Amino acid sequence: MAGVILDGRRISQEILSELKPRIETLRQKARPPALAVVLVGEDPASQIYVRNKIKTCRELGITSLDRTPPANTTTEELLEIIQSFNEDPEVDGILVQSPLPKHIDSHAVLLAVSPSKDADGFHPFNVGCLVANRPAPRACTPAGIMQMLKRYEVPIAGRHAVVVGRSDIVGKPMALMLLHENATVTICHSRTPDLAAECRRADILVAAIGKPALLTEAYIKPGAVVVDVGMNRLTDCAEVNRIFAHDPKRIAAFEKSGTALVGDVDPHAMQELSSAYTPVPGGVGPLTIAMLMANTVSLAEQHLRC
């Protein structure tokens, strides 16, 4: 029996709907929340992502301030842009879209964003607040996953959660958020011996390693809840036919478009073995932007004392 689909689009819409009255209150008492978005260069994937963020801001009534400096922008020039937003009392949240061009000092950029305007929740100060379980902006993707698990009433306390991936933006904050909800948490990565055995211990399995369909049926305990954070674009016909052998519709779509999206978990194994799972696309992805909006609104409420 196939697992229950955890519909990220539905949860995202719930979160956005709940933000609307808070945004209206801010608008009536002072001004709408404002998010500054900085996109350096013309990376196509980043452009799409930023467009979606801007579109969501407009739909909610959040002011979007957009800066798109060229790819040859220096670190110093980018830091000046960030500082101008830090000093602007009309700006509540700042987002610098990654990846940045290789010549830019990304660490300096991370530190430059004021913690009180850190809409992504990446600043070390806010990461420290997460470690201490104190209020602060949280990294959007893991925060969205926690919202989804709670709204689908997935039990977390006392469960064994395994997070595959140790990135600063997903893996590490995900593990901490699960720990704060009283899960027993294991973090795995590329050097974990017998990764499959560790994953099979999971009641909640979060895959965020960036390898297409790496986690097969050997990695999934029957009845586990599987959260697939991966978003891998495939262009190889043989690989698509292998991964989607049980899904003729996905193969037909690939033959039409020449690309297919797959997560870090084998989709057929995830559907068949899990009690609940996030599809790719339509699972975790929509939640990230919803939580970015939630962070921006919360920061505006703090700045405007509403």
Q: Is 53 a catalytic residue?
A: yes
Nearest-5° Cα angle at 222, 220 to 228: 40
- Spatial contact of 91 and 117, defined as CB atoms under 8 Å apart: yes
Separation between Cα atoms, residue 109 and residue 72, nearest integer Å: 15
Q: What is the DSSP letter of 101?
A: P
Q: Is 97 a catalytic residue?
A: yes
Q: Which of 92, 117, 118, 120 is catalytic?
A: 120
- Spatial contact of 192 and 248, defined as CB atoms under 8 Å apart: no
**Which residue type, as a one-letter code, is found at position 287?**
L
Q: What is the DSSP letter of 111?
A: H
Cα 24 to its chain centre, rounded Å, is 26
Closest CA to 36 of 290, 285, 300, 288: 300
- Spatial contact of 81 and 261, defined as CB atoms under 8 Å apart: no
Cα 220 to its chain centre, rounded Å, is 22
Closest CA to 60 of 305, 292, 303, 302: 292
Separation between Cα atoms, residue 250 and residue 47, nearest integer Å: 25
Reduced DSSP (H G I as helix, E B as strand, rest coil) percent helix, strand, coil of the chain, to 5:
45, 15, 40
Tokens of 84: 């101008």
Q: Which of 53, 118, 203, 266 is catalytic?
A: 53
Q: Which of 92, 97, 118, 147 is catalytic?
A: 97
Q: How many helices (H) and strands (E) does the chain have?
A: 12, 11
Using CA atoms, how far residue 234 sits from 44, 264, 271, in Å, is 16, 12, 20
List, by residue number, the catalytic residues.
53, 97, 120
